[in-house]
């Protein structure tokens, strides 16, 4: 009996290991111990990666009116201006949707533009993206994080030229790139739409072991808004609202 148990144990362990790595989704350790967005790091697939989104006016992101700096750069003195910051930690190469609930936060009250950023010496920042003013609100964005050997190189907003809202009378196409709804339709202003922001994130480039990050290609092959259906925890909020629209 005892002997049998001893012989079985390693076998069971072995089986469990095989099963967990082949059949079940593995949750390997997060080896990235940098949790602040204003520090440098290199990552591998399955690590968490901390990035931040700052809300302010478009001009608050520029030093001396011309040079766009990372919000981590103290020369911008963003903290002394009308601004808000959200911090996120998505998993590298997983398609994730960052949401910012606007029931108690109106981006329009903080200048109406946002910049995604991470890193200090190797600071990366996106261009400012228009989110909202008293007339229009844009609720859906796609952000691409481009890595090279595991170090963040670039953050950019990927737009689809209003393909998702053309012909839909509830939307206005701003600058041929963003689908916007009237800010007066937002719940906060007595309307019926939950104007929370959804930021679809995707990874491209290579991790520190030169493994290719592929989630960007997956996003590109799917229609942006159809992805909302994948986030079951949002089914009753963001999803149903988009289902009503498309």
Ligand X SMILES: *[C@@H]1O[C@H](CO)[C@@H](O)[C@H](O)[C@H]1NC(C)=O
- For 66, half-sphere exposure in the C-beta direction (CA atoms, 13 angstrom radius) is 1
Q: How far apart are the first and last CA of the chain?
A: 64
Kindly state whether residue 172 participates in binding ligand X, applying the rule CB under 6 A: no
Token pair for 101: 């609930």
Helix (H), strand (E) at residue 40: none
Q: Minimum Å distance from CB 64 to ligand X? A: 4
Cβ neighbors of 102 (< 8 A, separation 6 or more) are 186, 188, 194, 195, 196, 197
Kindly state whether residue 152 participates in binding ligand X, applying the rule CB under 6 A: no
How many separate helices (H) and strands (E) can be counted in the chain? 3, 15
Cβ neighbors of 186 (< 8 A, separation 6 or more) are 102, 137, 193, 194, 195
Residue 38, classified by CB atoms within 10 Å of its CB into exposed (0-12), middle (13-18) or buried (19+), is middle
Sole binder of ligand X in the list 86, 142, 196, 239 (CB under 6 A): 196
As beta bridge partners, residue 156 has: 144
Tokens 């009116």 belong to residue: 65
Residues in 110-149 that interact with ligand X by CB under 6 A: 130, 133-136
Residue with Cβ nearer ligand X (45 or 132): 132
Kindly state whether residue 173 participates in binding ligand X, applying the rule CB under 6 A: no
Sole binder of ligand X in the list 101, 166, 243, 244 (CB under 6 A): 101
DSSP letters, 111-141, are TSEEEEEE-STT-EEPPPEE-B-SSEEE-EE
Residue with Cβ nearer ligand X (151 or 187): 187
Q: Minimum Å distance from CB 188 to ligand X? A: 10
What does R_g of the chain's alpha carbons equal in angstroms? 21
**CA gap 158, 89 in Å, rounded:** 20
Residue with Cβ nearer ligand X (136 or 171): 136
Kindly state whether residue 228 participates in binding ligand X, applying the rule CB under 6 A: no
Residues in 42-81 that interact with ligand X by CB under 6 A: 64
Binding mask 4-43 for ligand X (x = CB under 6 A): ----------------------------------------
Residue with Cβ nearer ligand X (136 or 225): 136
Stretch binding ligand X (CB under 6 A), from 23-31, 53-61, 97-105, 120-128: 97-105
Q: Minimum Å distance from CB 136 to ligand X? A: 5
Sole binder of ligand X in the list 83, 90, 150, 194 (CB under 6 A): 194
**Residues in contact with ligand X by the rule CB under 6 A:** 64, 99, 101, 103, 130, 133-136, 174, 194, 196, 237-238
């Amino acid at each position: 009996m005892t002997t049998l148990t001893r012989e079985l144990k390693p076998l069971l362990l072995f089986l469990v290991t095989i099963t967990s790595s082949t059949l079940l989704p593995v949750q390997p350790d997060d080896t990235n111990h940098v949790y602040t967005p204003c520090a440098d790091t290199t990552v591998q697939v399955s690590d968490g990666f901390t990035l931040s989104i700052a809300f302010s006016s478009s001009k608050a992101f520029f030093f001396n009116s011309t040079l766009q700096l990372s919000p981590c750069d103290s020369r911008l003195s963003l903290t002394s201006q009308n601004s808000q910051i959200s911090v996120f930690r998505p998993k590298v190469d997983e398609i994730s949707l960052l949401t910012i609930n606007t029931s108690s936060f109106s981006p329009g009250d903080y200048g109406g533009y946002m910049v995604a950023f991470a890193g200090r010496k190797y600071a990366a920042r996106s261009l400012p993206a228009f989110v909202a003013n008293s007339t229009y609100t844009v609720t859906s964005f796609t952000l691409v994080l481009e890595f090279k050997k595991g170090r963040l190189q670039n953050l950019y907003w990927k737009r689809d030229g209003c393909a998702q809202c053309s012909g839909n009378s509830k939307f206005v196409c701003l600058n041929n790139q963003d689908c916007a709804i009237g800010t007066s339709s937002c719940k906060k202003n007595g309307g019926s739409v939950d104007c929370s922001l959804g930021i679809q994130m995707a990874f491209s480039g290579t991790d520190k072991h030169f493994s290719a990050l592929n989630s960007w290609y997956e996003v590109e092959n799917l229609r942006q808004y159809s992805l909302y259906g994948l986030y079951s925890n949002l089914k009753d909020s963001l999803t149903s609202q988009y289902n009503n629209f498309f």
